[in-house]
Structure 1
Amino acid sequence: MSYQQQQQQHFHMPSGSTSGRSRMSDFGRTHVVRPRGKHQVTIVWLHGMGDNGASWTQVLDALPLPNIKWICPTAPVRPVGMLGGFRCTAWFDVGEMSEDTVEDMEGLDSSAAHIANLLSSEPADVKVGIGGFSMGGATALYSATCAVLGRYGNGNIPYNINLKAVVSLSGWLPTGISRSLSNRVQSSQEAARRAAYLPILITHGTSYDGYNFAFQL
């Protein structure tokens, strides 16, 4: 079974489903910023909640990084619990930010699989990474945990993308993941090795108050 077929089997929902969690086919338009120099790196850049991929293209194109290809997908439109069920673009559903939050693993896995699929066709000699802002940063960090553990959160299929870098701007590691991540990494020598060799940059602006600082790391 091909990589894409595995994703379709495990992450697509039945066409008649009324759940707010979206199928991979519900992802919006993907925008690409081509490298101006030799193509050496591809980064999938993820927007924040309520935004879209197009809004980041001008900023990314202006960066003095001529060897990077930027892929800017758009999240599905879904009801978001912390907004009282208001529908907007979101990589996954998120409710109250607390230690007892139950994560939307289906949404996280679906988005991580969509991102992985975007990177799966990149040339073998091109390094790949994931970055994002706010909820996009959270999704990037979740993808990092999949890369380190070698599997998606549902544990059914492997995560096959060899990430070389992850960036989170004003994001957070979903609390349901952070509670168990340390033990899962420490119990696997291979996961510990991957974690040691995956560079991750986490930053947070002092003027951004989208999420409580307690949940940023």
Structure 2
Amino acid sequence: MSSRSSSESSGGRTTRRTFEFGRTHVVRPKGQHQATIVWLHGLGDKGSSWSQLLETLPLPNIKWICPTAPTRPVALFGGFPCTAWFDVGEISEDASVDLEGLDASAAHVANLLSTEPADIKLGVGGFSMGAATSLYSATCRVLGQYGNGNPYPINLSAIVGLSGWLPCSRTLTNRMGRSHEAARRAASLPILLCHGIGDDVVAYRLGERSAQTLSSAGFRNLTFRTYNGLGHYTIPEETNEVCNWLTASLGLGGSRS
């Protein structure tokens, strides 16, 4: 188990929550190690669920790190505890944002990537709430800091989000507009977003609006793929898209077909 504490101060009073992250599963590269990607599961899931799938992909040059989110009360489920990267009451653009939880999870991801060799390309991806956390990590990267103002330390080279949404979408454009460096980073960061039109958990329109918000904020290297009839799950057509996109975006060699 690993843990990270974060605190939030208001009016001279400090509240502190400690987040206990679950087991991390690692899929070692079968070929030359060229990239490391942290892959984040969805709400109520665990890292092992995705590590088993990722191990089957024809991407022998990627090391996958699949952490498990903390178990915490989730407002969406009436306070019932389950694994979650951050608290959420509703999945919509108008939902209140658990910035403390997002920062803690983004920092956990950055910490997992911080010990990788200097010549290895780094990325973050995920499904549903994991995709939301990966997109939040992308905004931290381009802005150079977490939501709490602490510096973000990792140079990300690829972001993948399946069936997800963008947290903090309302404030992103304004924050981006105040920094030329953020705009430069955003323009060069490759992002792949995939969403099923039949998704009844994270509505397709929310995924589409998230892609539009990112594009408007300056993320020029963004690909948005849609799938007719796809619900809130993944299919081989989608994972093939991810494999092809990662191979091209990261310049990977020696992939098996």
Q: How would you bin the TM-score normalised by the shorter chain?
A: 0.7 to 0.9
Please tell me whether residue 121 in structure 1 is matched to residue 115 in structure 2: yes
- Which residue of structure 1 lines up, in the alignment, with residue 100 of structure 2? 106
Gaps of 5+ in 1: 1-6, 14-18
Cα contact 2:30–2:60 (8 A) shared by 1? yes
- Which residue of structure 1 lines up, in the alignment, with residue 145 of structure 2? 151
- Which residue of structure 2 lines up, in the alignment, with residue 50 of structure 1? 44
Distance 2:199 2:116 in 1: 34
The one-letter code of the counterpart of 2:156 is L
1:81-115 Cα distance to aligned partner (Å, 9 max, x none)? 11111110000000123443220000000000000
The one-letter code of the counterpart of 2:133 is T
- Which residue of structure 1 lines up, in the alignment, with residue 242 of structure 2? none
Aligned residues: 200
Please tell me whether residue 97 in structure 1 is matched to residue 91 in structure 2: yes
Distance 1:127 1:23 in 2: 30
- Which residue of structure 2 lines up, in the alignment, with residue 209 of structure 1? 200
- Bigger relative contact order, structure 1 or 2 (CA pairs below 8 A, ≥6 apart): 1
**66, 72, 80: which one aligns with 1:78:** 72
Higher strand proportion (structure 1 or 2): 2
In structure 2, do the counterparts of structure 1 residues 99 and 58 end up closer, same or farther at CA, with 3 Å as the change threshold? closer
Cα contact 1:148–1:194 (8 A) shared by 2? yes
Secondary structure at the residue paired with 1:118? helix
What's the TM-score, normalizing by structure 2? 0.74
Please tell me whether residue 168 in structure 1 is matched to residue 153 in structure 2: no
CA shift for structure 1 position 206:
3.0
Distance 2:93 2:196 in 1: 23
In structure 2, do the counterparts of structure 1 residues 98 and 33 end up closer, same or farther at CA, with 3 Å as the change threshold? closer
Distance 1:182 1:86 in 2: 34
Q: Which range moved further: 207-216 or 116-125? A: 207-216
Distance 2:147 2:72 in 1: 20
The one-letter code of the counterpart of 1:161 is I
Cα contact 1:22–1:78 (8 A) shared by 2? no
What's the TM-score, normalizing by structure 1? 0.87
Distance 1:32 1:12 in 2: 29
Distance 1:167 1:187 in 2: 26
In structure 2, do the counterparts of structure 1 residues 83 and 197 end up closer, same or farther at CA, with 3 Å as the change threshold? same
Secondary structure at the residue paired with 1:204? strand
Cα contact 1:129–1:165 (8 A) shared by 2? yes
Moved over 3 A (4+): 97-100
CA shift for structure 1 position 210:
1.2
RMSD: 1.9
Please tell me whether residue 195 in structure 1 is matched to residue 195 in structure 2: no
1:160-193 Cα distance to aligned partner (Å, 9 max, x none)? 100000000000001xx11111121122100000
Secondary structure at the residue paired with 2:164? coil
In structure 2, do the counterparts of structure 1 residues 125 and 77 end up closer, same or farther at CA, with 3 Å as the change threshold? same
